[in-house]
């Protein structure tokens, strides 16, 4: 279930305030130790897992939906599913990879059921970052750069789902093909073929 | 020498293509043009950043995740096994049902004095109209059961879940198989209520 209300006033220091042994012992734990602590009932340990991985998970989701609100909903869904299935995390891959796997499944499922309203509308508008001129860049150049990014983002949104997932994991999360294959449940050959076709289709869409 | 394959183009872009094949990419105008085009596209894609959300966004995200997590509990080992056991039972039951149904089709005509059991089976077989009416219910039950399954449970069992895979699999079932699946799912759902 997605909690849509944003509890802005919730205390941000909660993850570290009630832990046995003091805050440092929580912060210094490895991901595997935090998983173990979460399973033992320490909610603060899971809070720290969220804090460590929320940016990557959110960015992964954003790449799929190109929309801040939807990406936040999806990121929340990823962490809730991760919490529910924490016992299934065996530590064979890193916690980050495991979260990516859940994230890709959640995003692909969302794309399978959701009409493309939000993802097709948002790229029509430039995000704030895209309108701000970088150092040494004129306002016109910043606008053109923003327009280029908007076109690429819209083109990526039109790629078939598997190609999009492969492109996102490879280009933006710099994953090796073997890891992408593990996440998508494909062979390395299929991942490379998907990546090639993603780039080829992107080229056609941008022409 | 043959042109580069899609996988070789990817290796070329990654800089991992063996030297002889990379040399071909330098000599062959078609492969060179394709490789250059891929480089251009890759640079354009890599240039697209995720806009930074406002600074208060991250604490808000953590807080709403905390609130959502507080409403749930981690699945116990036994609870995680329930959908898998159900799915396994379902596969066995459907497989068995279909096998029995197909065996029955191949069997000779029933004797003139059928046993009470056989009589009940014959009465229970729905006609085509009943099947059509039942299909809508089958979809309802299927959707309901599928929505309760966790991706993590399926993944932990070694299954890979692809979007719409269930739809595709079910679409391949015959009306009889679909009806049997619906009946079994209904029973499964009733026993879980």
Over residues B111-153, the pLDDT tens digits come to: 445 444 444 443 344 444 444 444 555 555 555 555 555 555 5
What is the C-alpha separation between A48 and A37, in angstroms, rounded? 11
Answer whether A105 sits within 8 Å of B47, measured CB to CB.
Answer: no
Distance CA B178, CA B58 (A): 47
State whether residue A109 is helix, strand or coil.
helix
So what's the pLDDT on residue A147? 87
Q: What backbone phi and psi angles, to 5 degrees, belong to B26?
A: -75, -35
- Measured in angstroms, the CA of B170 and the nearest CA of chain A are apart by 17
Cα(B31)–Cα(B23) distance, integer angstroms: 11
Residue B30: count of CB within 10 angstroms of its CB: 10
The interaxial angle of helices B29-46 and B19-27, nearest 10 deg, is 100
Which three-class secondary structure state does DSSP give residue B33? helix
For residue B165, pLDDT beyond 70: no
Alpha helices, H only, chain A:
14-17, 23-27, 31-39, 43-65, 68-84, 95-113, 117-121, 128-131, 139-157, 161-167, 177-184, 188-206
Output the pTM of the full model: 0.62
Query: Choosing among A64, A185, A196, which should be mutated to test the B contact, i.e. which has the most B CBs within 10 A?
Result: A196
Cα distance from B177 to chain A (closest Cα, Å)? 26
Contact between B145 and B182 under an 8 Å Cβ cutoff? The reply is: no
Q: What is the ipTM of this complex?
A: 0.76
pLDDT along chain A (207 residues), means of 10: 34 39 65 92 92 95 92 96 91 90 93 58 47 70 85 91 94 93 93 96 92
Name chain A contacts of B163, Cβ cutoff 8 Å: 108-109, 111-112, 161
Query: For residues B58, B59, B65 and B67, what is the CA-based torsion angle, rounded to 10 degrees?
Result: -160
Q: Chain A: give the shortest CA distance to residue B115, in Å.
A: 49
pLDDT-based confidence at B39, cuts 50/70/90? very high
């Amino acid at each position: 279930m997605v909690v849509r209300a944003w509890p802005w006033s919730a205390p941000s220091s909660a993850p570290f305030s009630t832990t046995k042994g003091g805050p440092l012992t929580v912060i210094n734990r490895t991901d595997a130790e935090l998983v173990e602590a979460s399973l033992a009932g320490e909610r603060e340990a899971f809070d720290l897992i969220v804090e460590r991985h929320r940016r990557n998970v959110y960015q992964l989701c954003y790449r799929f939906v190109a929309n801040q609100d939807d990406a936040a909903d999806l990121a929340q869904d990823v962490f809730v599913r991760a919490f529910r299935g924490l016992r299934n995390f065996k530590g064979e891959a890193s916690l980050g990879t495991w979260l990516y796997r859940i994230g890709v499944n959640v995003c692909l499922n969302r794309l399978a059921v959701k009409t493309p309203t939000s993802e097709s509308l948002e790229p029509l508008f430039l995000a704030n970052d895209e309108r701000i001129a970088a150092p040494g860049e004129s306002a016109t150049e910043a606008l053109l750069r923003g327009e280029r990014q908007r076109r690429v983002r819209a083109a990526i949104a039109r790629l078939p789902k598997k190609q999009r997932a492969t492109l996102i994991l490879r280009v933006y999360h710099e994953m090796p093909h073997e890891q992408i294959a593990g996440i998508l449940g494909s062979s390395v050959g299929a991942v490379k073929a998907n990546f090639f076709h993603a780039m080829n289709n992107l080229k056609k869409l941008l022409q | 020498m043959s042109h580069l394959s899609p996988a070789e183009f990817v290796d070329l872009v990654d800089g991992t293509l063996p030297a002889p094949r990379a040399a071909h990419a330098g000599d062959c105008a078609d492969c060179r043009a394709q490789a250059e085009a891929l480089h251009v596209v890759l640079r354009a894609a890599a240039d697209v950043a995720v806009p930074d959300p406002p600074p208060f966004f991250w604490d808000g995200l953590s807080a709403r995740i905390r609130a959502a997590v507080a409403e749930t509990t981690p699945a116990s080992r036994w609870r995680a096994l329930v959908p898998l056991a159900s799915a396994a039972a379902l596969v066995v039951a459907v497989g068995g049902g279909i096998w029995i149904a197909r065996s029955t089709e191949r069997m000779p005509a029933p004797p003139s004095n059928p046993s009470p059991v056989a009589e009940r089976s014959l009465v229970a077989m729905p006609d085509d109209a009943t099947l059509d009416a039942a299909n809508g219910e089958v979809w309802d039950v299927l959707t309901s059961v599928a929505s309760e399954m966790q991706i993590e449970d399926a993944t932990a069992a070694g299954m890979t879940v692809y979007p719409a895979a269930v739809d595709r699999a079910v679409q391949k079932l015959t009306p009889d198989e679909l009806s049997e699946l619906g009946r079994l799912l209904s029973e499964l759902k009733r026993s879980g209520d």
